[in-house]
């Protein structure tokens, strides 16, 4: 794929991040939709309790299953969106085949700056709360997804006979 396409996709990601970051949390509330799926609510209520602190509050699967499900969906979105955003950065700057550590690190630094800027913007947006924990989730998404792709590329590279490369 042409590098220009990757840069356009990166720009689109930045626009999406900016748009979602400025939206009040009430506009992103999917709990009414979640509450319509009774089997999902029942599943969460029947599974072992999951309880942990996050950003100064307790997340508890039994206390309010719809809140818990929304929390998981939102964090999975952070994880995957920023993970693939980082992959786009790597692809736009040369791809995974000849990936040098410095390019991987710089993509991570840029991604971390965008994630921190996103959370800072949310901190100053009425109805939103920015938190460092979300930046950590974003960075973990980048680290995990880009690492899995790197391992896959290296596996293909070293398992393919040289005459085909």
Angle at 128 between CA 124 and CA 131, to 5 degrees: 80
- At 165 the pLDDT is 54
Nearest to 149 by CA among 76, 87, 85: 87
- At 118 the pLDDT is 95
- At 38 the pLDDT is 94
- At 158 the pLDDT is 82
DSSP secondary structure code for residue 96 in this structure: S
Domain ranges (residues) in the chain: 3-28+74-164
């Amino acid at each position: 794929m042409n590098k220009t396409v990757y840069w356009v996709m990166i720009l689109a990601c930045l626009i999406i991040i900016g748009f979602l970051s400025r939206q009040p949390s009430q506009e992103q509330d999917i709990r009414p939709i979640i509450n319509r799926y009774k089997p999902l609510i029942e599943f969460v209520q029947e599974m072992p309790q999951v309880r942990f602190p996050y950003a100064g509050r307790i997340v508890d699967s039994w206390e309010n299953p719809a809140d818990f499900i929304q929390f998981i969906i939102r964090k999975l979105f952070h994880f995957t969106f920023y993970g693939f955003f980082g992959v786009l950065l790597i692809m736009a700057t040369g791809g995974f085949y000849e990936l040098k550590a410095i390019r991987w690190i710089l993509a991570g630094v840029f991604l971390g700056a965008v994630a921190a800027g996103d959370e800072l913007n949310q901190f100053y947006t009425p109805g939103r709360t920015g938190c460092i924990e979300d930046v950590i989730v974003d960075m973990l998404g980048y680290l995990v997804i880009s690492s899995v792709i790197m391992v896959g590329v290296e596996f293909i590279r070293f398992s393919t006979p040289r005459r085909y490369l």
